[in-house]
Chains A and B, each alone.
Chain A
Amino acid sequence: MNCDEAKVLMHALIDGELDAGHAREVEAHIMGCADCAARLREFQELRKAMTPAAMRYTAPAGLRERIEGKLPALPATGASRRAVIKGFAGGAALSAIAASGVLVMVMRGDDQRRVLGEVVSAHLRSLQAQQAHLIDVQSSDQHTVKPWFNGRLDVAPPVVELTAQGFTLLGGRLDYVDAKPVAAIVYRRRVHIINLFCAPAPGSGNSGATMESLHGYNVRRWSENGLNLWAVSDINAEELAEFGEKFEAALKQ
């Protein structure tokens, strides 16, 4: 890595946006380059001088009401005075419902965030102890990997071979996410490992995929057939999305 690259990438390092491999490369360069080390220190100082909370603005009180006032009110019937009065009363009740809705959403959001952290940690654990515990059952044959989970989990996780599509099945293992046993199915894309975590989620419907990233790892999350699935890897989001789509398509066959 040269200084020009490091000058840009050190910002991604400060922001925690680099995957482990790139972070090591930038750090290695900075260790050996006094100029870049000084520059990094200066930017860290600059960051310390910023207090985001104090640099924010608070929306004026009237703004929220004005926006709410312009959105369709309930019930949106006629324009008689009676209806308007009813609308106001209904509006107050709805605000309360909306407020509780916000609370539920915030909590659910936090919960998802926490689980997201857990699947990324599980992914990292599986890589660090590579010999010890990436794979319990090593096979590129889905008919070997799938039955291995019998008796170890309440559900049969979906296992499909995607070698032809560029994702090699390496095997599976039992892991834990959110203090519950989950199936981890391990795939390889070039030199990158993809962990696909499957946790039973009774009653959950099918939900479309969302892509998130944490500490430089991409996570594609979706639900189907009573399972929550998370594909975690350091490959880029496009390839991980491709993996998810190929996986879903193969399941439907």
Chain B
Amino acid sequence: MMAGGVADASDGSRAERFKALALPHLDDVYTLARYLLRSASDADDAVQECYLRAFRHFDSFRGGPIKPWLMAILRNVAHATSGANVRLVFTADTGEPQGGAQILPLWREDGDTPEQAMLRRHDSETMRALIAQLPAEFREVIVLREINDLSYRDIATVIEAPIGTVMSRLARARGMLREAWIAAEGRGQS
């Protein structure tokens, strides 16, 4: 892929190969970081650290899908981050939009009427907030499965646990989310 005659082309072409493989998953990795760390600026830092770390260890990447590999690194970075900054772990996010603008939806749905769009936005915001309140080990499996769309096998790789654990944790996570959702719906109607 590289033009000849360039000094240190091997290092540069390695970087290009890495970029071509890893950067398409930036939004996915960033999404996971947002849910794990619950802060835009911490997510930003963690994703940057994740990519640099991934590049340093690119030689140890053994092929196959790169997304789970990146997410496993992100998860380790996020754990280190929240370890260093205990506030992040124990601050209960109440689902109240902090700073308003930050939580504004970044998507546009085509073909929705304004009412539908508003309902959908409401649902998604509620759901984001409810997921953010789940304990970390349940939050991560829900996000990896429902939002990052990973298979059980890939989730098992990311969280370094057997598939059976993935399955039972996901079952519990959905149970907790369902109860929280019903409670939130009730508040919404009353």
* Interface residues contributed by chain A, number (CB under 8 Å): 50
- Does A101 lie at the interface of the complex (its beta carbon under 8 Å from any beta carbon of B)? yes
Type the 1/0 row for B112-133, where 1 means its CB is closer than 8 Å to any CB of A. Answer: 0000000011011001100100
The answer, among A15, A17, A70, for a CB contact under 8 Å with B52, is: A70
**Interface residue? A85 (CB, 8 A):** no
> Is B20 a contact of A101 with CB atoms below 8 Å?
yes
B16 A98 Cβ-Cβ under 8 A: yes
Q: Point out the residue from A8, A9, A67 that lies within 8 Å of B51, measured CB to CB.
A: A67
- Pairwise interchain contact A50-B146, C-beta atoms closer than 8 A: yes
Complex formed: what's the CA distance from A59 to B44 in Å? 8
Are A54 and B107 interface neighbours, CB within 8 A? yes
Indicate if the CB atoms of A52 and B146 lie closer than 8 Å: yes
Contact of A67 among B48, B105, B151 (CB under 8 A): B48
Chain B interface size, under 10 / 10 to 19 / 20 to 34 / 35 or more: 35 or more
**B178 → chain A closest CB, angstroms:** 5
Interface set of A (CB-CB < 8 Å, partner B): 7-12, 15, 17, 42-43, 46-47, 49-60, 63-64, 66-68, 70-77, 90, 94, 97-98, 101-102, 105-106, 208, 210-211, 213, 237
B168 / chain A contacts, CB cutoff of 8 Å: 8
User: Is there an interface contact between A46 and B171, defined as CB atoms closer than 8 Å?
Assistant: no
Q: In the complex, what distance in Å separates the CA atom of A7 from the CA atom of B153?
A: 20
Which residues of A lie under 8 Å from residue B26 when comparing CB positions?
Answer: 59, 63-64, 67
Contact of A55 among B55, B128, B178 (CB under 8 A): B128
Cβ contact of A76, chosen from B1, B12, B109, cutoff 8 A: B12
A52 to B35 CA separation, bound complex (whole angstroms) = 13
Q: B106, A102: Cβ atoms under 8 Å?
A: no
Having A74-B6, A74-B9, A77-B8, one finds 7 other A-B pairs with CB under 8 Å, namely: A50-B123, A55-B146, A56-B107, A59-B47, A60-B40, A68-B19, A75-B12
Residues of B close to A76: CB separation below 8 A? 7-8, 11-12
Distance of B47 from chain A, by nearest CB (Å): 6
Please state if A58 and B63 are interface contacts (CB–CB under 8 Å).
Answer: no
Measured between beta carbons, the chain B residues less than 8 angstroms from A101 are 1, 16-17, 20
